[in-house]
Amino acid sequence: MKLQEFNEMMKESLGDRVINIPSTETEYFAHKCNVSGDGMNDGWCWYDGAFYTSTLEITLKECRKDRENILYDIDEDVKLQDESEYNEFIEALKRAKSNTETDDDLLFIAYQTGYLYYTEWYEDDFMNYKLVGDKLSPIGDEKSTQWS
């Protein structure tokens, strides 16, 4: 029986009187979310790796905060990540220029212009953080091939 299962079983039988025993299992993560501090093996990479967000909710909030930079100096001739979505891009850009864009529009514009992208990291060589119990720590250079 895993520790988490044991904690859940005890909580069911004893209610809130149970103190959870911290896990000693180690999990590895490629990156750390700059907002939540959580380890992540998938998520959004901003500015070619200068900033990371782990969930869609966090990413949309950060897009809203960074709206001005996302929209800075964009015109209809910008090179898109996916040219087949040009018409959708132009419609989202029109909404943004009239201050009626949605959070999804900002995310779409940011992706299409290369401001951020979604990715997954699962290869052991990309693991830069380890989580033991509830403590996320950088892995030393001897195990990591990427910057943290």
Q: What is the pLDDT of residue 147?
A: 47
pLDDT averaged over every residue in the chain = 85
Looking at beta carbons, which pairs linking 115-119 to residues 24 or more positions away fall under 8 Å?
A: 115/46, 115/47, 115/69, 115/70, 116/44, 116/45, 116/46, 116/47, 116/59, 116/63, 117/44, 117/45, 117/81, 118/42, 118/43, 118/44, 118/45, 119/42, 119/43, 119/44, 119/45
| Pair 51, 40: CB distance under 8 Å | no
In the structure, what pLDDT confidence band is assigned to residue 15 with cuts at 50, 70 and 90? low
CA–centroid distance for 127 within its chain:
15
Q: Is the pLDDT of residue 135 over 50?
A: yes
